[in-house]
Amino acid sequence: MTSPYATFPVHETIDIREMADIRNAVDRLVEAYAQQSNEASFSYRILLPRGEKLTGKSRRIGISFQGEFVLGLRKKNLVPRVREIRYLHDEAHYGWLLASPEVMERFEKKS
């Protein structure tokens, strides 16, 4: 039950298990976006916990992460050009791809 997006080429995969992990992850992604935005090569995977009692927690983490990421970009006066895809990564994780449109198009052409 693995999605084809599980093999999507990314610079880094970040596993977020708790709300406390969001700040560090957002800081890393905003810095990476600032450095790679001109290259159109931004691609990161976020893994969120999946399980019977974890869906609500994952939703809260995802919403908080998304808000913090957009806010972090705006604070640095960066315009977000990021496509996102959410998918089932494996039995224990939801996957969330954040990538520049160019990276997404290259992957979709190969698939």
Kindly list the domain boundaries of the chain, sorted by start residue.
8-110
Fold assignment, 8-110? Translation Initiation Factor IF3 (3.30.110)
Question: Which residues lie across from 98 on neighbouring strands?
Answer: 44, 84
Q: Does position 2 have pLDDT exceeding 80, yes or no?
A: no
Query: What is the model's pLDDT at position 56?
Result: 86
Q: Does position 1 have pLDDT exceeding 60, yes or no?
A: no
Q: Does position 88 have pLDDT exceeding 80, yes or no?
A: yes
Closest residue by Cα to residue 101 from 87, 86, 80, 76:
80
pLDDT digits (tens, 9 = 90+) for 30-80: 999 998 756 678 999 999 999 877 788 899 999 999 999 999 999 999 988
Q: For the chain, what percent of residues have pLDDT higher than 90?
A: 64
Q: Which residue has the higher pLDDT, 51 or 82?
A: 82
Query: What is the model's pLDDT at position 3?
Result: 83
Residues contacting residue 95 through CB under 8 Å, at least 6 positions apart? 3, 5, 6, 45, 46, 47, 48, 86, 87, 88, 89
